Chains A and B, each alone.
Chain A
């Protein structure tokens, strides 16, 4: 059983206060929608949770069966889909997936890559360079990449941005599939996405 705890989390950039005193406690099977207006710090909170930024105050704990996880364990268990995260335009979809699987220490077969691409609606497009993908296709490929390590902690920042109706359905299905085995944190402005999560955390200055 995985657990993600945030205690009195605050973040400032110099004089600029982004958010303060956020508290939450999530277990495997739970999901949380981080909501708030534009500029309220939802994406910053994601970066803090992923240790890209350090919190100005407070503590984040990743736990496995009640024991704090080590840095390498955490890295192997988290995945992010975000507008700030890009894949390599000069590599094909398959090459991107193979590269990220290898650097994450995962062995992945051609069949598994095909299955992942099919799952996100990119079947038959794996050999194309990502630079030639539409923004929606790139977003789908980010999902395929995020699922490579079967994440125990799945972070989704604006999860349906650039996606058409079919893409949004795929995302909803993926969240449903991973809900029971992962902790999912979703940062969104879209009210129709609030229901994708079981809890809500309002972020505001």
Chain B
């Protein structure tokens, strides 16, 4: 199938693993215009194939790996690809946006997306080289950790001239092979971390997929795109967040600000501050351990850290890992976190869910609910615990289930910090209640990004009232829709941070920034207007280059209002998939600790007023009281006829 649009390769491939057959999956230009790519395209494919009775570990489930039209287009931070599947953790749709190089090479092989279905009889790896699909047995690779297996695969792709054929890979480690519920998929040193995608790949007996080829991404208006990219790269490099904070301190640079705002998850989210935070913050990481900052393909932001762990030069920890294996378990040993970060990536496990499961277990032990040997501040045994989880040995076999299932067995549901079965990110939401709402309603479970990341307004970038409910629901919806679309188009979500005009970030004490902080919570009506009448935002915003780039690459019309509408379509489509798996308002929940217990006894607002926020959010979205999109909305968004 070909396409009239630029940016797309015009082909989606479905591999039936039981039959070892590859067929072209029909995906029309009409569908491209509606469902764009990335997580939205994947949701459409999953909606058309899964009916609601399927289980994550079954031959009915699909592992859908998608790119966006901007992947490989030369746009900044556009090496991204997405992996969606029915999550073994939540039982709902999960999607995970990854910065490794697989998406770029999948397009070089001529594919916009790859769908895996069923399972292989024996552990194998799949080679896609242009139009050739080969299945190789992986007896020699099974059991290898993620770094080792990527090196071994490169050896298999070594050409007669001694060079390794240029390729992109996705691989799983021992955790994925053993179907640990929160195991991840790794590409280079970047991770598709959340929701247990690695476990599904493990069920399928697929150790790795390798893509290579010589096809090119066609950009329809190349000259205009080149000029725009020059301007855009410059803009991102000059912006205080994408040009300074992220390159200099990485995501870890938020730890100190989170401490100041009392949103640093501490002792399994009991507190929002950690007295030893200076030992484990981004400044200490940058000064003592960072060797150089590093970026994904075509990324000017370069947010990744590079550190040395026992002689191995490797990726440093992101904020989430730093916090949840730091303050989350009352650990102030940064060097230990660098080592664990490396070990968890090598084993192929999501650091967020793993760390939160361990902090739940520590608290359960402290409260006498479960004698498991894990204690806050006691870190000498954790490397062994991680290995035990990955190989499901001893106590590790239980920890591999995650905090939700463990709390159902041992008790302590009120401090099992998850939403829909997926553990929360590192921001304690009682002093950033908009993010609390986001965690609860997020389609993939306790995720800060799919939740709308309102914390950037609630104290990190801007400083609107963090505990008011005013405007939070509408702004959450807007940010969710924008990020949905950025992800679907094949870009990194961090490009969205430059959406905030530099003066607001550079001058937090100026009259205009203070005014913005006061006014923003009362701008909900404007968000709803754009949602209802996208034509009123029929323009390109000077701080948001994404829309022009999308037009130049694809040839589709995409003004700001259209962009938000496409994101809204994606978000609702995912909700529709989840409806089949019985999502409803009761499932949009947070543990009691966050909604009933005050973080600060002297501040009556320091808890998440979840029910109040959900009511406004559902109304703003056009969902019914049970949290489900109304028929009229689905028709408007062209999700249903």
- The finding on whether chains A and B are genuine partners in a shared complex, rather than unrelated, reads no
Which residues of B are interface residues toward A (Cβ below 8 A)? none
| Residue positions of A touching B, CB distance < 8 A | none
